[in-house]
Amino acid sequence: MIKPQDIRTVFMGTPDFALATLEGLLDTGVDLCAVYTQPDRPKGRGNKLSAPPVKELALARGIPVYQPVKLRDPAVVEELRALAPDLIVVVAYGQILPKSVLEIPRYGCINVHASLLPRYRGAAPINQAVIDGEEVAGVTTMVMDVGLDTGAMLIKRATPIGPEETAGELHDRLALLGREAMEETLERLCAGTLRAEAQDDALSTYAPMMKKEDGRIDWSRSAQAIHNQVRGLDPWPGAFTHLDGEVLKIARTRPEPGEGEPGTVLSAGADGVRIACGEGVLLVRELQLPGKRRLSARDFLQGKHLPPGTTLEP
> Which parts are annotated binding residues?
115-118
Please check whether residue 313 lies inside any domain of the structure.
Answer: no
Give 54: exposed, middle or buried? Use CB within 10 Å, 0-12, 13-18, 19+: buried
In this structure, is residue 126 part of a structural domain?
yes
170 and 87 housed in the same domain: yes
Per-residue pLDDT of 209-219, as tens digits, reads: 999 999 999 99
The binding site for (6S)-5,6,7,8-tetrahydrofolate consists of 115-118
Do residues 279 and 256 make contact, with C-beta atoms less than 8 angstroms apart? Answer: no
Asked if 143 and 196 touch (Cβ cutoff 8 Å), the reply is: yes
Asked if residue 141 and residue 68 are part of one domain, the reply reads yes
- The rounded distance, in Å, linking the Cα atoms of 52 and 54 is 5
- The CATH number of the domain holding residue 53 is 3.40.50.170
Q: What is the pLDDT of residues 65-76, one digit of tens each?
A: 999 999 999 999
Q: Is residue 312 part of a domain?
A: no
Q: What is the pLDDT of residues 165-200, one digit of tens each?
A: 999 999 999 999 999 999 999 999 999 999 999 999
pLDDT in the model for residue 290? 96
Cβ atoms 7, 86 nearer than 8 A:
yes
Cβ-based neighbours of 147, under 8 Å, separated by 6 or more: none
pLDDT of amino acid 13: 98
- Percent of the chain, pLDDT > 90? 97
Asked whether residue 40 is assigned to any structural domain, the reply reads yes
Mean pLDDT, residues 43-59 taken together: 91
Instruction: Tell me, yes or no, whether 81 and 12 share the same domain.
Output: yes
Side chain identity, residue 311: T
pLDDT at 235: 96
180 and 124 together in one domain: yes
Say yes or no: 43 and 147 in one domain.
yes
pLDDT at 44: 79
The set of long-range contacts for 153-160, using a CB threshold of 8 Å and a minimum separation of 24, is: 153/117, 153/196, 153/197, 153/198, 153/199, 154/110, 154/185, 154/188, 154/194, 154/195, 154/196, 154/197, 155/181, 155/182, 155/184, 155/185, 155/188, 156/116, 156/117, 156/181, 157/181, 158/116, 160/135, 160/136
Residue 45: per-residue pLDDT: 77
Say what the pTM is. 0.96
Mean pLDDT of 55-59: 98
Same domain, 71 and 195: yes
Is 76 in the same domain as 170? Answer: yes
- For residue 30, pLDDT over 90 is answered with yes
Q: What is the CATH number of the domain that holds 233?
A: 3.10.25.10
Assigned domain for 310 exists = no
> Is residue 14's pLDDT more than 90?
yes
Report pLDDT for 101. 98
- In a domain, residue 308? The reply is no
Complete DSSP assignment for 93-158: -SSPPPHHHHTSSTT-EEEEESSSTTTTBSS-HHHHHHHTT-SEEEEEEEE--SSSS-SPEEEEEE
Supply the pLDDT for residue 95.
95
Q: What value does the mean pLDDT of the chain take?
A: 97
Number of folded domains that form the chain:
2
Is the domain of 13 the same as that of 111? yes
Task: Read off the pLDDT of each residue in 12-25 and give the average, rounded to a whole number.
Answer: 98
pLDDT at 314: 87
Q: Which residues contact 24 (CB under 8 A, 6 or more apart)?
A: 179, 180, 182, 183
Q: Is the pLDDT of residue 40 over 80?
A: yes
Q: How far apart are CA 153 and CA 40, in angstroms?
A: 32
Summarised one tens digit per residue, pLDDT across range 231-282 is 999 999 999 999 999 999 999 999 999 999 999 999 999 999 999 999 999 9
Give the span between the Cα atoms of 252 and 259, in whole angstroms: 20
Query: Mean of the pLDDT values across residues 128-149?
Result: 97
Give the domain-ending residue among 203, 233, 258.
Answer: 203
Residue that finishes a domain, picked among 151, 186, 203: 203
| Residues 52 and 161 both lie in one domain | yes
Mean pLDDT across 206-233: 98
Band of the pLDDT at 1, cuts 50, 70, 90? confident
Sheet holding 109-113, edge to edge: 65-66, 31-36, 8-13, 87-91, 109-113, 136-143, 153-160
pLDDT in tens, 79-95: 999 999 999 999 999 99
Give the residue-averaged pLDDT of 12-22.
98
Is 314 inside a domain boundary?
Answer: no
Is 130 contained in some domain?
Answer: yes
Task: Verify that 66 and 196 share a domain, yes or no.
Answer: yes
If 0-12 CB within 10 Å is exposed, 13-18 middle and 19+ buried, where does residue 56 land?
middle
Domain check: are 291 and 184 in the same one? no
Question: Mean pLDDT over residues 153-165, rounded?
Answer: 98
What's the pLDDT at 288?
Answer: 98
Nearest residue to 180 via CA among 154, 206, 198:
154
Q: Which of 173, 203, 233 is the last residue of a domain?
A: 203
Same domain, 248 and 288: yes
**Segments forming the whole domain that contains residue 251:** 212-303
Quote the percentage of the chain above a pLDDT of 70.
100
